[in-house]
């Protein structure tokens, strides 16, 4: 029996050992912490992750490390932004390349029109150098 137990004083809880909130597990939160940092999850998911971080010391500490790393990367590597419209142009080019490789067959018959699309996947790899 420790002195604290014998004196009737409440035992102090180790802040590093906590029961995680029931709704969201630590592994799940840590797997999604970057989505949380980048504001890439919906409001309900963000609320659940924030609640877990508020209640779980170890996850909050890990979140703090990741947040500092993200800030450091932004400071050291930030400032370079992709040109406006790049994402749309890339999507358009990818879509065009996929459609060019697809074979579309349209058949009309007594039961109606049927359309079939067949596509062969081709992967291009850059040679290292």
- Condensed to tens digits (0 to 9), the pLDDT of residues 69-84 reads 888 888 888 767 778 8
> How far is 128 from 66, CA to CA, in rounded Å?
31
User: Strand, coil or helix: what is 56?
Assistant: coil
pTM of the model: 0.41
pLDDT tens digits along 38-47: 888 899 999 9
Question: Beta partners for 108?
Answer: 113
Q: For the chain, which residues make up each domain, given as ranges? A: 16-77, 86-119
The alpha carbon dihedral of 34, 40, 41, 43 has a sign of positive
């Amino acid at each position: 029996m420790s002195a604290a137990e014998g004196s009737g004083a409440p035992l102090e809880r180790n802040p590093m050992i906590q029961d995680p909130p029931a709704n969201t597990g630590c592994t799940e939160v840590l797997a999604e912490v970057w989505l949380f940092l980048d504001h890439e999850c919906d409001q309900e998911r963000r609320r659940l992750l924030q609640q877990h971080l508020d209640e779980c010391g170890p996850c909050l500490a890990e979140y703090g490390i990741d947040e500092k790393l993200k800030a450091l990367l932004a400071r050291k590597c930030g400032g370079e932004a992709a040109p406006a419209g790049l994402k749309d142009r890339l999507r358009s080019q990818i879509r065009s390349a996929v459609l060019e490789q697809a074979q579309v067959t349209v058949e009309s018959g007594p039961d109606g029109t049927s359309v079939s699309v067949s596509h062969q996947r081709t992967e291009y790899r850059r040679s290292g150098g």
